[in-house]
A and B are shown apart, each in its own frame.
Chain A
């Protein structure tokens, strides 16, 4: 049995036929659409490496069945920059050394974009740390990550006012 679904991924519509209902959103974007920026870490919802925005909300793509998200709008790390201009969160991660090996970074950045959109943490480092607690960084770049999220939040808030 095959299943046909439609997904808008990084503002581009995809008509997708699946021959297996077990495919997760993570495996769909990586293995079928070859968008490999989203990483597979634990594959069990514990590490946050697979974080993407689905209908504007950050979720663990490894625990999301693709079939169940028929019609959704998905944003992955490949879709956040505007051409050659990096997203403010990407810029802030570079400015603050918010990574070392980089494996968790796409998930960290997507999670940070989601956190800022949720509007609950502001630039309070303690609230940002708690708000980023679903993303593990085995290199331990948390200090730079927290600074980057706070900086990006302020930059984006100022941009909205401008």
Chain B
């Protein structure tokens, strides 16, 4: 399975995402923000970082990159898309996911291990988890507070579109402690914490993050 990983100017976590794809049994394909072809990939990851320096708003410039036209088209026809951190911000800015990510409530940039609970294990990206499983993976963000209007929040709850929530004290003021959401069809996941940094005990707090990648890749092999 070929999984694209997009690099914008200012992207940080593309190498870790590629490594996670390989560890999960997939083939990582580097994509550049100016590419106009998705190079026959089966799924795409928009990794974390500070695309275009996060000027204007996080993800606001990245949504106009040439590669995003292709991703938006393919996502609409069901291609799996995972946006992590800045990638989540980009997906919201691009309108692929509802809501927006704003400045952390305490204004602090957070970088630490965080417990999250898997609220929906039936998406393409989360089916390798047990229902309500609690895992520990890093968060590192300054603008990770998820906000949306009340109707959107109600829809997310009613249609089971919240995929992950923070456990314990809310780290950044996210509404309903939301750490990750999916679209209605479950092929697009936006996640504020970083599963790609938790794929081996040598470098991360756990191996829990790997299962977001195996959810997609191993299922395709079964």
Decide whether A and B assemble into one complex: no
